[in-house]
Structure 1
C-alpha cells in the first residue's frame, strides 16, 4: 500500500507538491496563517518579505483562479472589505 492510499487525497497531494517545491523553493515559508484577518495588501508585503522567491496576489474570495500549481505563487484571498479570509499558501 502506498502512502497516498493510507491518507486523504488532499494530504497526499500536499506532500507530493512539497517534494516538487523543495527542489525549486528551498528556503522561506510556504504558508501564512497569521495573515488571516489582516488587510490583503499588508499580507502581500509580509509574504513576499518572508519568502522573496514567491509573488503574492490579492484575489477577491470566490473569484476563479487558474488551476495550475506554481511553487512561486501565493494567492491571498480577501473579502469585499479587503481582509484576508483564509490561510495563504504557495500554489
Structure 2
C-alpha cells in the first residue's frame, strides 16, 4: 500500500515469468507476445531437443520449438 491507504500499482504483482498461452504457436507469434509482456526480454528460439546452459538470466526467455516451428513447452524467464 502507498501512503494514504491507496493500493500500489499492480504492475509488479502482475509481472509474468512464463507464457503457457503460446504453446502451439509459431516462434514469431510467441516472440511477439513475450516482447509485449516483457519488452526488455532477450528471446531465444531453440530447437526442442537442443542442449542449453543451465545458468539463470532474468532477461532471457527461451522458446523451444519443434521441426515445424511450433512452441513445444511454455517459455519462461531464465
Give the total of aligned pairs: 67
Q: TM-score, with normalisation over the residues of structure 2?
A: 0.78
Equivalent position to 1:43, from 30, 38, 54 = 30
Larger Rg: 2
Moved over 3 A (4+): 25-28
Structure 1 gaps of 5+ residues are 1-24
Equivalent position to 2:60, from 37, 56, 73 = 73
Normalized per residue, the structure richer in helix is 1
Give the CA deviation at 1:28: 3.3
Structure 2 gaps of 5+ residues are 1-11
Q: Which has the higher contact order (CA 8 A, sep 6+)?
A: 2
Q: TM-score, with normalisation over the residues of structure 1?
A: 0.67
Q: Secondary structure at the match of 2:24?
A: coil
Larger mean CA deviation between 52-61 and 69-78 belongs to 52-61
